[in-house]
Amino acid sequence: MKSSTFVMVHVGQSTESQRNLEHGIETLSWGFPEHKPEYDHARPQFAVLATGASPRVQLEAWLQRTATLYLFQVRQGFYAGESWHWPDEEAERRLKYPLRFGIEPLAKLDDVPLGPDGPLTEAGSDAIRRSGTDRGMGKIVQMPAQHLLELAGIPIDPEDPEAVPLDKSPGFTAEQVEGKKKPQRRRRGAGYISDPKKRKAIELHAEELATAHYEQQGWTVEKLGKPYDLRCTRGAEERHVEVKGTTGAATSVELTINEVLHARDKDNTVDLYVVSDIKIDTSTDPYTPTGGTISHYPDWEPADEDLRPRKYEYRLPQTTG
């Protein structure tokens, strides 16, 4: 059975840890307080964030327990983040988790045995335990992904288990974090921020970087907003640009159905321009955004396997009489 590279993380039960877990799920990013040598050449394909079991026990006792596992696909490998991204970073105004990676939620698995009756190898299970005794620092381990994906009901190709179809995975949201008392309706997407002033600053900064990029290439840029962000013309050429920004990793972005349909229309030439790891100074009025890492996708057309539906329009049955 083919093995994949996992990063295994234990998330504590404290209010701060659980709040950071929610924020990481919402913004598709995770981070550690420092770099470790084992990360140097690691290219993890999957991540497991585990909670609900105390790690401060011997391995024999640990293997008798169960935990909640949040299974992710890693979409952006380890990088050095520069933005304040998590709630405690914002509160303390300092970078606490500079080593980061991008995560895409695949499935939440409840009451998973940590021993031989479960989907983890002993090395994988022990890596979670050791993470919990090391400030939640991730542990790299090689193990098959097949059993976890099968438990989640996700179809897999045994020859290429990393090729996970996003549209066939259940996913999960921050509202499903174990122990939340008052779930609230939240949007989910790359870098989603509840502060509207911060959201707007991120959006405008990303648009400014995109505009400068296309103008440097000789395009005339017109800002529209809808049905797409930028209309670029150069002679007889026309190109439409969808722009997204985030303080987190470049993992995935939230799209409307109109944005998807517009990008798939053969009469349109569409680019996707994503700015991640944007720094925001919230001490100024208005907020001051700087920096960011560019991910540019020319001639972009979203494929079905890379889309996960978040909500549906339901047509009510016709009534008689």
Domain spans in the chain, listed from the N-terminal domain onward: 4-176, 196-305
pLDDT at 157: 81
What's the predicted TM-score (pTM) here?
A: 0.85
For residue 207, what are its two tokens? 């648009």
Q: Which of 38, 100, 140 is nearest to 250 (CA)?
A: 100
Residue at 288: amino acid letter: T
Q: Which of 228, 237, 186, 235 is nearest to 207 (CA)?
A: 228
Q: What class, spelled out in words, does domain 196-305 have in CATH?
A: alpha beta
* DSSP letters spanning 150-201: HHTT----TT-TT---GGGS----GGGSTT-SS------STT--S-HHHHHH
pLDDT at 70: 97
CATH number of 4-176: 3.10.590
For residue 179, what are its two tokens? 């122990």
CA triple 25-26-32, angle to 5 deg = 50
User: Are 4-176 and 196-305 in the same CATH fold?
Assistant: no
The CB density around residue 134, as the number of other CB atoms within 10 Å, is 14
Decide: helix, strand or coil at residue 82: coil
The CA distance from 7 to 315, in Å, is: 43
Q: Give per-residue burial for 181-215: e unless 16+ CB within 10 Å, then b.
A: eeeeeeebbbbbbeeeebbebbbbbbbebbbebbe
The CA distance from 121 to 144, in Å, is: 8
For residue 217, what are its two tokens? 């290439």
CA 98 to chain centroid, in Å, comes to 16
Going residue by residue through the chain, which has 321 residues, state the pLDDT in tens, using 9 for 90 and above: 789 999 999 999 998 899 999 999 989 999 999 999 999 999 999 999 999 999 999 999 999 999 999 999 999 999 999 898 888 888 898 999 999 999 999 999 999 999 999 999 999 999 999 999 999 999 999 999 999 999 999 988 877 867 888 888 999 988 888 655 444 444 444 445 568 899 999 999 999 999 999 999 999 999 998 889 999 999 999 999 999 999 999 999 999 899 999 999 999 999 999 999 999 988 888 899 999 999 999 999 999 989 987 766 777 787 775
HEC secondary structure over 141-161: EEECCHHHHHHCCCCCCCCCC
The CA distance from 134 to 67, in Å, is: 18
The CA distance from 107 to 136, in Å, is: 21
pLDDT at 188: 46
pLDDT at 321: 59
The CA distance from 146 to 153, in Å, is: 10
Residue at 55: amino acid letter: P
- Find the farthest-apart pair of alpha carbons in the chain and give their distance in angstroms, rounded: 72
The CA distance from 321 to 313, in Å, is: 25
pLDDT at 179: 58
pLDDT at 314: 74
